[in-house]
Amino acid sequence: MEPGVKLSSLETETYYPAFKAHDARFDGRVFAGVSSTGIYCRPVCRARTPQEQNCTFFPSAAAAEAVGYRPCLKCRPELAPGLTPTDASTNLARRAALLLEEDCLRKDSLKKLAQSLGVTSGHLSRLFVTEFGVSPAQYLQTCRLLLAKNLLTDTRLPAADVAFTAGFGSVRRLNALFQKHYHLSPPALRKQRKLSNKGAPDVITLYPGYRPPYLWDNLLAFLAARTVPGVEYVAGQAYHRTVAIPHDGKTYRGWLTVQHAEKKKALAVTIPVTLLPVLPQVLARVKDLFDLRCEPWEIYHRLAVMNEIKDGMCLPGARPPGCFDAFELAVRAVLGQQITVKAAHTLAGRIVSVYGTALDTPVDGLTHTFPSPADICGLDGPIENHLGALGVTGARARSIRALAEGLLSGEIDLSGRPDPQMQMEKLLALPGFGTWTVHYVAMRALGWPDAFPHTDYGVKKALAGRTAKEILALSEHWKPWRAYATINLWMC
């Protein structure tokens, strides 16, 4: 499909009723351009429904903007949830889209992006047009514009901070593109906002959206039981953690708080302004951690067969938690091998207190950032001499060191953007990384929706009376969403 071409009449007949019904299942999957107003909307928009003949449907916000539509100020397309990669072709295009959203490619060229994904720039462009209706360059520009719009609407940040955070490089460039594409200047947009005067001036709060239903309490309880002391803290229905993100030769450190904004069908993400240089990365990691790209009804439709095993075994809106820091998550997985969750919690806390970086935060319980692969690789002598003193067995200490070396060299990439199955094979080659550990890491760090740690105690308990071979055979009916099946089994 060429950029900006209207979807077929059959698809129009499918999507118009969805817009008329404000169907959240289609939120972020399709956008409607309205010819009578010149704006484009999300399916959940509560403005007056336009006539069908005035609607053109697009597979992405970028495709709508490419033909001149402006984002709706009511439903705010910049808050729409993203998409989960599934099959090979959409996986590649969507993984590339995630990279564009995450860093706005301030320095990396689109050619380098294609190379990092193992394809030519021409092939990536063709996949992008098929999946999103626009080229990667057009998609990137929309990412920047929508991020700027989000900051202008929900924060009091100076225009210069907005411009640089969104990747424009200058206020003049931001103003010019905003006027060209949205027919509105940033100051004029801000005059229309209704922003409370409350709140600290040194923090901002943004609201990335999700598709309901969302079992927030279940996901938060899972994270609360597995926090890394000093790094994570759950209290008062809120998740808090420290942040350490390297960017342009510097590591930016800070903290964040995530709460459920149920009425907005979003999460409220609060961070200090000192993290603005890495804001796109912070938001991307929060979306990964809380699985905001999930399409719950599509997944439930596939997994509802689990309820034939036991009534209520599968619930719509159950989401496997991802992670904010892949190395931290993988180390936590190694520490948790064949010991209790509480014991692994204690070991992780010891590692943080000795080898983490101390950090002052306004949140009780947040004291350190987790040690990086470079921190672990920089320890002199055998790793057992360091981690052994903290109670970590020699075998697990060596596993952690091997993982750190693989990440530091680039041989292993747990960013969740490369092919997850290839990274799983590399993890399996590391000492101490068995099937359970690899699938657990794939499920949470790599965001692979079909990861299935079938030897897990919780999985075997929920499917009692079945052998490992029988569990694997049963799981064939749950593909490609076995990670979601796993979280439902853990909840039983």
**pLDDT tens-place string over residues 153-212:** 999 999 999 999 999 989 999 999 999 999 999 999 988 776 655 566 799 999 999 999
What pLDDT is attached to residue 2? 41
Mean pLDDT of 41-67: 94
449 CB contacts (<8 Å, ≥6 apart)? 84, 85, 86, 480, 481, 482, 483, 484
Per CATH, 88-192 and 326-491 having the same topology is answered: no
pLDDT band for 117, please (50, 70, 90 cuts): confident
Task: Give SS3 for 267.
Answer: strand
Q: What is the mean pLDDT of residues 73-100?
A: 81
**Mean pLDDT within 93-97:** 86
pLDDT at 1 over 90: no
Q: Does the pLDDT at position 84 exceed 80?
A: no
CA distance 69 to 37: 9
Tell me which of 102-111, 122-131, 358-367 is least confident. Answer: 102-111
Q: Is 207 helix (H, G, I), strand (E, B) or coil?
A: coil
Per-residue model confidence as pLDDT tens digits over 283-334: 999 999 999 999 999 999 999 999 999 999 999 999 999 999 999 999 999 9
Sign of the Cα torsion 251, 252, 256, 262 reads negative
- Given a contact cutoff of 8 angstroms between Cβ atoms, the answer to whether 404 and 379 are in contact is no
| pLDDT at residue 9, as a whole number | 42
The 10 Å Cβ neighbour count of residue 477 is 13
- 231 closest CA partner among 322, 324, 334, 342: 324
β-strand 357-358 against 232-235: which pairing, if any?
unpaired
Instruction: Classify domain 88-192 at the CATH class level.
Output: mainly alpha
d(CA 459, CA 453): 8
- pLDDT over 60 (residue 10): no
Return the ∠ at Cα 261 (arms to 260 and 267), rounded to 5°.
65
Burial, 222: exposed, middle or buried (Cβ in 10 Å; 0-12, 13-18, 19+)? Answer: middle
Domain at 326-491: CATH code? 1.10.340.30
CA-CA-CA-CA dihedral for 86, 88, 90, 96, to nearest 10: 100
* CATH class label, 9-79: alpha beta
pLDDT at 8 over 60: no
The Cα–Cα gap between 161 and 446 comes to 31
Residues contacting 105, CB < 8 A, separation 6+: 99, 113, 140, 167
246: preceding bond cis by omega (within 30 degrees)? no
| pLDDT given for residue 306 in this prediction | 98
How far is CA 103 from each of CA 20, 71, 137, 144, 389, rounded to the nearest angstrom? 35, 22, 14, 10, 39
The pLDDT value recorded for residue 199 is 60
Which range is least confidently modeled, 34-43, 69-78, 87-96?
87-96
Domain ranges of the chain: 9-79, 88-192, 203-283, 326-491
- pTM for the full predicted model: 0.93
Mean pLDDT, range 14-30, rounded to an integer: 92
pLDDT tier for residue 5 given thresholds of 50, 70 and 90: very low
Domain 203-283 in CATH 3.40.190.10: no
Task: Read off the pLDDT of residues 398-446 as tens digits, 9 standing for 90 and up.
Answer: 999 999 999 999 999 998 666 788 999 999 999 999 999 999 999 999 9
Cβ 323 vs Cβ 289: under 8 Å: yes
Question: What is the structure's pLDDT at 82?
Answer: 87
Average pLDDT, the chain: 92
pLDDT tens track for 228-253: 999 999 998 999 999 999 998 999 99
Q: Predicted confidence band at 3 (pLDDT cuts at 50, 70, 90)?
A: very low
Structure-token pair, residue 80: 């729409």
d(CA 408, CA 396): 18
CB atoms within 10 A of CB 270: 17
Predicted pLDDT of residue 96:
86
- Residues tagged active-site: 41, 456
State the Cα–Cα distance between residues 7 and 138, nearest whole angstrom: 19
Which one, of 213, 361, 238, lies nearest residue 291 by Cα?
Answer: 213
